[in-house]
Amino acid sequence: MSDSTLRDLTQPLIDHAEGQLFLNEAFKIIVEEVLHKGTDAEEKVCEWREPESLALLLDLQLRDTGESQGRLLQRVRNVAKYSIKTSHPHFFNQQFGGVDYHSLAGRFLTEALNTNLFTYEVAPVFVLMETEVLKALRQLVGWTDGDGIFCPGGSTSNMYAMNLARYKLFPEVKTKGLWALPRLAIFSSPGSHYSVQKGASYLGFGTDSVVLVKVDDGGRMIPEDLDAKIELAKSQGFVPLLVSCTSGTTVLGSFDPLDCIADVCDKHQLWMHVDSVSWNPHKMLLAGLQCSAFLLQDTTNLLKRCNCANASYLFQQDKFYDVNLDIGDKSVQCSRKVDCLKLWLMWKAVGSTGLEHRVDKAFLHVRYLLEQMKKRDGFQLVSTPEFVNVCFWFIPPSLRGKEGNADYQDKLAKVAPVIKERMMKEGTMMVGYQPLGDLGNFFRVTVFSPHICHKDMDFFLDEIERLGKCL
């Protein structure tokens, strides 16, 4: 006990009035730096610093003694300044972007309330609200009934599906583990999210259990190959467990043909994930990280039966209200953040129609972007976009017409990383690139934010040209 004796610890350690004053000042800085300047197309997306110099600038080290309020407010400003402005109209780096102020108000309220979403007694509003939001999401999927839960991200949602599928087929896995089960096989496409691999490893299946089904030129799973791979797996002694389909693959934005895959699943009696659904409203719907719903059609309480541990300190059965409202035992988490309020408040603000507009608007901008690309030299599509991901190579003038050269592909693959480095160091824009299978590095621009307009698309193309023209 250091200098505790100097303080009267019998008195409250935190002064509410002083704290609220600090919060008020911090709020003003957040609005100014992140929401005002951070969304201004004239300002930078990124204030690049080398890691060593950024660490020095931020003075991250934690010490024994505290700091003044003024110094702390300067820290709030610095964190904002050197962080990426994900709501900037020129942030195209990831599958999220933009800010919704109603959602953000919901997020602030969530943080202030600091509710743990496991029981009705401690989270009455949010138990009811999560149930209602999940119902509304299921209705958009087209399901009249079912179950679900909000998870910390889409990877976790996908893992829920894999875990549920095996429990449904072999309930004994919960107590006896995978040793008691035959070898299982999971089917997915090479374009599916990497969480299928991570989940296979984490949940004990092993990544060898994941069978990759062939895709067509557009990156869509081929049902005939799925059928063949299932037959093959069976012949090798595997029990086919589930097909993890994708509606909008990570890179190309491809949609697996769900109807045809459903027929194959029916034929072999497989769990079809998408039959359960992982849906991330923190992406296109702008709910903010994290907001990922795992939805399923089941009405037999499968989720709870699979995951429950019946902890008697939390889920007592002799409570004075309906204990079915204690939804926490459906989760593999104990402490669980409230992820529904932000989506609910935003939805209340703009209605389903307003959310629909955002999706429509994104498609409209993608169409505009594609038209403009056609009018310019050097923009070559990787595939025809099905969704709001536009994948393309930028061919700098020096490489145009050199497709036949032996080193063309190597040189082309080096273009995107250099342009990316330049844009980040100048801070004008952010967009991702990646290779895919045999294809060398190409850009993937994701058109998500409802803040953008045609001039931002024009800026995007101008900027790629400007940064890449001398390569």
Site for a second copy in 367-386 (CB under 8 A): 368
Nearer to a second copy, 49 or 268 (CB): 49
SS3 string of the chain?
A: CCCHHHCCCCCCCCCHHHHHHHHHHHHHHHHHHHHHHHHCCCCCCCCCCCHHHHHHHHCCCCCCCCCCHHHHHHHHHHHHHHCCCCCCCCEECECECCCCHHHHHHHHHHHHHCCCCCCCCCCHHHHHHHHHHHHHHHHHHCCCCCEEEEECCHHHHHHHHHHHHHHHHCCCHHHHCHHHCCCEEEEECCCCCCHHHHHHHHCCCCHHHEEECCECCCCCECHHHHHHHHHHHHHCCCEEEEEECCECCCCCCCECCHHHHHHHHHHHCCEEECCEEEECCCCCCCCCCCCEEEEECCCCCHHHHHHCCCCCCCCCCCCCCCHHHCHHHHCCCCCCCCCCHHHHHHHHHHHHHHHHHHHHHHHHHHHHHHHHHHHCCCEEECCCCCCCEEEEEECCHHHCCCCCCCCHHHHHHCHHHHHHHHHHHHCCCEEEEEEECCEEEEEEEECCCCCCCHHHHHHHHHHHHHHHCCC
In whole angstroms, give the CA distance from residue 30 to residue 25: 9
Stretch that binds a second copy, among 89-97, 225-233, 262-270, 395-403 (CB under 8 A): 89-97
Stretch that binds a second copy, among 66-74, 260-268, 372-380, 459-467 (CB under 8 A): 66-74
**Least separation in angstroms between CB 223 and a second copy:** 25
Q: Does 411 bind a second copy (CB under 8 A)?
A: no
The binder of a second copy chosen from 88, 147, 156, 395 (CB under 8 A): 156
Nearer to a second copy, 197 or 297 (CB): 197
The binder of a second copy chosen from 42, 64, 259, 438 (CB under 8 A): 64
Nearer to a second copy, 289 or 381 (CB): 289
Nearer to a second copy, 152 or 257 (CB): 152
Nearer to a second copy, 48 or 143 (CB): 48
Contacts (CB under 8 A) with a second copy, residues 240-279: 250-251
Q: Does 49 bind a second copy (CB under 8 A)?
A: yes
Spell out, one character per residue from 213 to 232, where the chain touches a second copy: x when CB under 8 A holds, - when not. --------------------
Q: Does 409 bind a second copy (CB under 8 A)?
A: no
Nearer to a second copy, 229 or 451 (CB): 451
Q: Does 402 bind a second copy (CB under 8 A)?
A: no
Stretch that binds a second copy, among 126-134, 220-228, 373-381, 459-467 (CB under 8 A): 126-134
Spell out, one character per residue from 20 to 39, where the chain touches a second copy: x when CB under 8 A holds, - when not. x-xxx-xx--xx--xxx--x
In whole angstroms, give the CA distance from residue 273 to residue 194: 15
The binder of a second copy chosen from 44, 90, 92, 93 (CB under 8 A): 93
Q: Is there a contact between 85 and 74 (Cβ–Cβ < 8 Å)?
A: no
Spell out, one character per residue from 321 to 340, where the chain touches a second copy: x when CB under 8 A holds, - when not. xx--x------xxxxxx---
Q: Is there a contact between 407 and 243 (Cβ–Cβ < 8 Å)?
A: no
Contacts (CB under 8 A) with a second copy, residues 289-308: 289-290, 292, 306-307
Contacts (CB under 8 A) with a second copy, residues 180-209: 180, 183, 193-195, 197-209
Nearer to a second copy, 172 or 224 (CB): 172
The binder of a second copy chosen from 168, 268, 357, 466 (CB under 8 A): 357
Spell out, one character per residue from 94 to 123, where the chain touches a second copy: x when CB under 8 A holds, - when not. x-x-xxxxx-xxxxxx-xxxxxx---xxxx
Contacts (CB under 8 A) with a second copy, residues 424-453: 424, 430, 432-436, 441, 444, 450-453
